[in-house]
Amino acid sequence: MTTATDIDLLCINTIRTLSIDAVQKARSGHPGTPMGAAPIAYCLWQRFLRYSPRHPDWPDRDRFVLSAGHACALLYSLLHLTGVRAHWPSYPSTDRLAVTLDDLKQFRQMDSRCTGHPEYGWTSGVEVTTGPLGQGVANSVGMAIAGRWLAHTYNRPGFDLFHHNVYALCGDGDMMEGVSSEAASLAGHLALGNLCWIYDDNHISIEGSTELAFTEDVGARFAAYGWQVVRVGDANDLAALSDAYRAFLAVDDRPTLIIVRSHIGYGAPHRQDTREAHGEALGEDEVRLAKEFYGCDPDAHFAVPPEVPAHFARNLGQRGEDAQAAWEASYHAYAAQYPDLARQLDCQRSGTLPPDWDKNLPEFPTDARGLATRDSSGKVLNAVARQVPWLIGGAADLSPSTKTALVGDLSSGSFQSPAYDGSYAGRNFHFGIREHAMCAIANGIAVSGPRAFASSFFVFTDYCRPSLRLSAMMAVPVIYIWTHDSISLGEDGPTHQPVEQLPSLRAMPGMVVIRPADANEVVAAWRAIMPMRDRPVSLVLTRQAVPTFDRSRYASAAGLARGAYVLADAPDGKLPQVLLLASGSEVALCIQAYEQLREQGVAARVVSMPSWELFETQGADYRDGVLPPSVVARVAVEQASGFGWERYVGSEGAIIGLAQFGLSAPGGEVARHFGFDSDHVVAAARAQIARCR
């Protein structure tokens, strides 16, 4: 190992042996990559990373993302040895290390901070949840975007508040996943010079050598994306690694890929290649052999020589402490000179909103024809963005259709490299036709301070699913705006008409789905969305115009905040004979049926149910008040798979939904073909009343 002192070797080998011991005690996990990549991580953290272990939430810290999340024992060992402190509310006390030696000994066990893959919000020092390959590197692009945007929006002469870098350690699996290619392509286009991916090129995957399926020239691919490509021939060469990191720091007009050739399970017997890929411990005999190879005591377990944390503290720790203290002093002076900007940054750090942020939201007059909820949402989005300057985002090449462009003086143009006549202060993002990366990037932005929104057609959530799932798992408040929400979009046909997407997103724990019925429900939806700090939202909107209800005749749209509410009720306070339940555009259909039934002497209740998730958080009294248990005649109407509506209509209730894909025709014709008209709703309501008699 070139230019490695004895203390360097001791630190690297301690990272290795801690990782080996954690995996061996759990009899589960991946020891090989931590062993092979330990010098890569050590060199970065000890010599280059701007990071304060005592303040792991410092806004201008460098970010380190372990995209190869299966190698998490490496990260946990680093967090322990560098003395990173606890700061997440998930800890019972912050007066402790983020990862203790006991946590390492309980790797992959119940309640340990050392989970099977890194989890954001649970273990301090984990910047994002990683594990599904490709997600971490895509998140890192969002972090780098956020860094650029924060710098160009808030830095002022003499106040360089934001100039941090983002590093991501990735492997062969990350490079094979499509989301990483999408994200890398966009990062190259945006010339994100604050982004560095470190590719641990160890040529192994579960089925064996990567030559079975992956033989491309990765460096040439990234050079074509517009990245700087640096190669290190031996992961154990600290001098070459240091030169590679310096090469990254010397370039500001493009991201950098450092390709490091390593051998998985360096120093372990050759059988480690297969065991690492399958997530198996080495076994006691091989653990002893590996430790002997590293010059460590083979009989010692979870050994931490006192020189190791002391060495980290003198370098990484002191460097980070000095940088963080200087930043805090600068920020106090900045706040005195630019109080309005400082208040914005304080809101971002705390996840709060400015006072009266919603005071200028539009109100929409009664209109029998109305407008598409995508159109009303576009108006509300711009009104919100005027009061919340850190609300930023865009669409996957569809902002004219999803109505998500910030216009006028709000936009500051597009977020774009100056090479393309843009500005990194722009609030409109052009993700290109990269839906999966868009959502992963939005997650990276969201964990960095700004409030992110992302948009596409609803059917394309199928391309985004892993990133959406991680939004929900991390509980980050990304706002997803999905339009063209049903078969009523019409002529594009079944390939573009969502059917199963609504129930599938409702099945995702932590994802709030809101499908508003008219323009004023859209306003109420945004009022509900913006204060949410700990969950993502999918706002599902129509392409076609829907009526704007007469709220003097029907209930206030403010009921949306509770997930479901009585929009139209039986006259004179009578108990209704039948409940008509719907979301989105089908609420208007239920109102038509309600009026027809009323003329026929039938007492009906229309319940608008824009968000099941919000409704289920209400108390039983409220839920029973909206859906009286004694009224068992019920009809649910939704232009989607009926899956899940049984919860609200019962096993014998009527569900007017879809059990097949759509078809290509004008939207109104498609809806009528599948029975979405008031006559069908009335007939179903009468049949339910007759059944219950």
Catalytic site positions: 435
Closest by alpha carbon to 571, among 606, 603, 608, 601?
603
Q: Can you tell me which residue has the tokens 């895509």?
A: 138
Q: Can you tell me which residue has the tokens 């330990």?
A: 38
Rounded CA separation 334/339 (Å): 8
DSSP 8-state assignment for residue 414 = B
CA 102 to chain centre: 30
Rounded CA separation 383/341 (Å): 19
DSSP 8-state assignment for residue 316 = I
Closest by alpha carbon to 442, among 685, 128, 170?
128
Angle at 141 between CA 190 and CA 177, to 5 degrees: 110
Angle at 96 between CA 475 and CA 118, to 5 degrees: 35
Rounded CA separation 537/468 (Å): 10
Rounded CA separation 505/468 (Å): 9
- Give yes or no for a contact between 662 and 493, defined as CB atoms under 8 angstroms apart: yes
Tell me phi and psi for residue 89, to 5 degrees: -60, -15
Tokens of 183: 């994200």
Rounded CA separation 533/510 (Å): 12
- Give yes or no for a contact between 42 and 8, defined as CB atoms under 8 angstroms apart: yes
Classify the phi-psi angles of 295: left when phi > 0, otherwise alpha if psi is within -120 to 50, otherwise beta: left
Q: Can you tell me which residue has the tokens 């004179």?
A: 572
Tokens of 592: 């038509």
DSSP readout, 446-487? HTTSSEEEEEEEGGGHHHHHHHHHHHHHHT---EEEEES-SG
Identity of the amino acid at 43: C
Could you give the residue ranges of the DSSP H alpha helices within 48-163? 72-81, 101-105, 135-154
User: What are the beta bridge partners of residue 228?
Assistant: 256
Rounded CA separation 579/681 (Å): 11
Alpha-carbon separation of residue 72 from 129, 325, 541 (angstroms): 11, 29, 39
Could you give the residue ranges of the DSSP H alpha helices within 513-659? 519-529, 586-599, 612-616, 620-626, 646-649
DSSP 8-state assignment for residue 95 = S
- Give yes or no for a contact between 436 and 179, defined as CB atoms under 8 angstroms apart: yes
Identity of the amino acid at 207: E
Identity of the amino acid at 387: Q
Residue 693 CB neighbour total at 10 angstroms: 7
Rounded CA separation 498/254 (Å): 38
Residue 250 CB neighbour total at 10 angstroms: 10
- Give yes or no for a contact between 130 and 136, defined as CB atoms under 8 angstroms apart: yes
Tokens of 25: 């005690």
Identity of the amino acid at 369: R
Question: Could you give the angle at which helices 32-47 and 72-81 cross, rounded to 10 degrees?
Answer: 40
The count of C-alpha atoms lying within 13 angstroms of the C-alpha of 223, restricted to the half-sphere facing its C-beta, is: 9
